[in-house]
Amino acid sequence: MGAKTGLLVYADGDVPDLLRQVEAADLERTFAMMRRLYPAWEIAEAAGSDLWEGVYPPDGTVYAASWPGVEIVCDRRVMTDTPSRLPRHLVEASAGRRLVLHAMHSVVDSLAFAVWEDGRLRRSLSLSPDGGITENIGEPFSFELSYWAGDRPADIIPWPDEDEEPYPLPFHPLDLGEEALRALCGFVQEGRPEPDDVDADGIDLHGFLVRDPNRARSVEKEAALKRAVEAMEPPRAYSMGPDGSLIERDSL
């Protein structure tokens, strides 16, 4: 499996139904959404992507689209193992709406997803084989039940002649991650598409370069401090001489 996602969706109703109806997203409308979600950040237009390819953008890039009734933001910064701690302003932006977070990383078999309704957290789940279950808040959705019941065990085949420990979770996070992505957003990254899946590669997203000026200033300050330290002369050590004067130790 090679699926990775860093996805937020704001919606006035069922996300898959709304995404099946969208057409080209207006750039100015999307820019306005970006300014709301990234206040005081530096935002510049960049090359875009589509919903299937763009759910895991390069660092510093956001793929996004805004339509009446539904908005999408793809950004690695929303990948978290504690969805309940999503920055407050991102949750507050979902007032009166549904907010879906989906964050999956195939390299470490991690999955986190969460759903808010009108700013209230309804469900949050985060788990990985190394970290175990980090968050499990709210009642599981129906698409989760067979996994928790043990009906969907992880299909891990050990290498021959290796004494491997059993998989530390009752199911594979990426299997549930694909199930959650389809149920909550209408499409999958890997696996066999279903006839009523959203045509994710047919939904274009605008691209943006996004830079946090506060972080940039912090990095500049750290670099300036490092340069100042490197320019300083080596430290000197002194000891007290017999007559009470200070004598540099290297000269003793």
Summarised one tens digit per residue, pLDDT across range 83-102 is 999 999 999 999 999 999 99
Report the distance separating Cα 224 and Cα 229, nearest Å: 9
For 132-161, write each residue's pLDDT tens digit.
Answer: 999 999 999 999 999 999 999 987 654 445
Classify residue 233 by burial, with Cβ atoms within 10 Å: 0-12, 13-18, 19+.
Answer: exposed
How high is the pLDDT of residue 219?
43
Location of structure tokens 């007559």? 243
- If one counts every other C-beta atom within 10 angstroms of the C-beta of residue 13, the result is 11
Question: For the chain, what are the domain ranges?
Answer: 4-214
Task: Return the higher-pLDDT residue of 154 and 123.
Answer: 123
Q: What sign results for the dihedral spanned by CA atoms 198, 201, 202, 204? A: positive
How high is the pLDDT of residue 159?
45
For 15-53, write each residue's pLDDT tens digit.
Answer: 999 999 999 999 999 999 999 999 989 999 999 999 999
For 59-105, give the DSSP string: TTEEEEEEETTEEEEE-GGG--S-GGGS-HHHHHTTTTSEEEEEEEE
pTM of this structure: 0.82
